[in-house]
Amino acid sequence: MAHKTVDVQGLGVVKLHKRRGVHSLKLSVSPDGLIRISMPFWVPYSAGAEFARNKRAWILGQLLEQRILSNGDLIGKTHRLEFVTDNHALNIRTRITSKGQIRVLYPAHQTFSDKAVQSAAHKASLRALKQQSEKILPVRLRSLATDHGFSYKNVRIKQLKSRWGSCSSDKEIVLNSFLVQLPWHLIDYVLLHELVHTRIMAHGNPFWTELSKYVPNLKSVRREIKSHKPFLLTE
pLDDT tens track for 58-112: 888 777 766 789 999 999 999 999 999 999 989 999 999 999 999 999 999 999 9
User: Looking at the predicted structure, is the pLDDT value of residue 33 above 80?
Assistant: no
Element (H, E) at 139: helix 115-148
CA–CA dist 142, 163 (Å, integer): 20
CATH, range 132-225: 3.30.2010.10
pLDDT in tens, 11-20: 888 999 998 8
Q: 101 pairs with which residues across the strands?
A: 80
User: Taking all residues of the chain, what is their mean pLDDT, rounded to a whole number?
Assistant: 92
The answer to whether 199 and 226 are in contact (CB under 8 A) is no
- Give the count of beta carbons closer than 10 Å to the beta carbon of residue 72: 10
Mean pLDDT of 30-36: 76
Q: Which residue ranges does the chain devote to CATH 3.30.2010.10?
A: 132-225
Confidence of residue 230 (pLDDT cuts 50, 70, 90): confident
pLDDT bracket for residue 222 (50, 70, 90):
very high
